[in-house]
Amino acid sequence: MSDQINSWSSILGMSEEDFDKALISYQAIANSIIRNFQKNLYSVVTKFKEFIEQNQSFFNELAEFFQDPQNIERLFDNYFMNRHKELSKYGIFISMSDLTIRELEEISKIVKDGKEKIVVDYFCKRLCNKSISRKIKMKWKKNKHIESRLRFINRGYKAHLNKDYISSIPVLIPHVEGILLDFIINNSLLPKLPTKFQGNKAISLLRNVTIEKVLMDVDKRQFGRFVNKERFFEYIDDSSTFLNRGRILHGLCLDYDREEWSAKLIYMINFLCNLTNHDWITTKLENGKWRLESVSENT
Cβ proximity of 268 and 93 under 8 Å: yes
Q: What is the DSSP string of the chain?
A: -HHHHHHHHHHHT--HHHHHHHHHHHHHHHHHHHHHHHHHHHHHHHHHHHHHHHTHHHHHHHHHHHHSHHHHHHHTHHHHHHHHHHHHTTT----GGGS-HHHHHHHHHHHHHT-HHHHHHHHHHHHT-HHHHHHHHHHHHT-HHHHTTHHHHHHHHHHHHTT-HHHHHHHHTHHHHHHHHHHHHHTT-SSS--S---HHHHHHHHTTEEEEESSSHHHHHHHHHHHT-HHHHS---S---S--HHHHHTT--S----HHHHHHHHHHHHHHHHHHSS-EEEEE-TTS-EEEEEGGGG-
User: What does the pLDDT average to over 47-67?
Assistant: 65
pLDDT top residue among 220 and 215:
220
Confidence label for 299 from pLDDT (cuts 50, 70 and 90) = very low
Residue 168 confidence (pLDDT) above 80 = yes
Q: What are phi and psi of 253, to 5 degrees?
A: -105, 110
Residue 216 confidence (pLDDT) above 50 = no
User: What's residue 115's pLDDT?
Assistant: 83
User: What's residue 183's pLDDT?
Assistant: 76
Cβ proximity of 269 and 173 under 8 Å: no
User: What does the pLDDT average to over 113-140?
Assistant: 90
User: What does the pLDDT average to over 60-86?
Assistant: 63
User: What does the pLDDT average to over 12-24?
Assistant: 65
User: What's residue 75's pLDDT?
Assistant: 56
Highest mean pLDDT: which of 63-77, 128-142, 183-197? Answer: 128-142
Could you give the CA distance from residue 81 to residue 58 in angstroms, rounded to a whole number?
A: 29
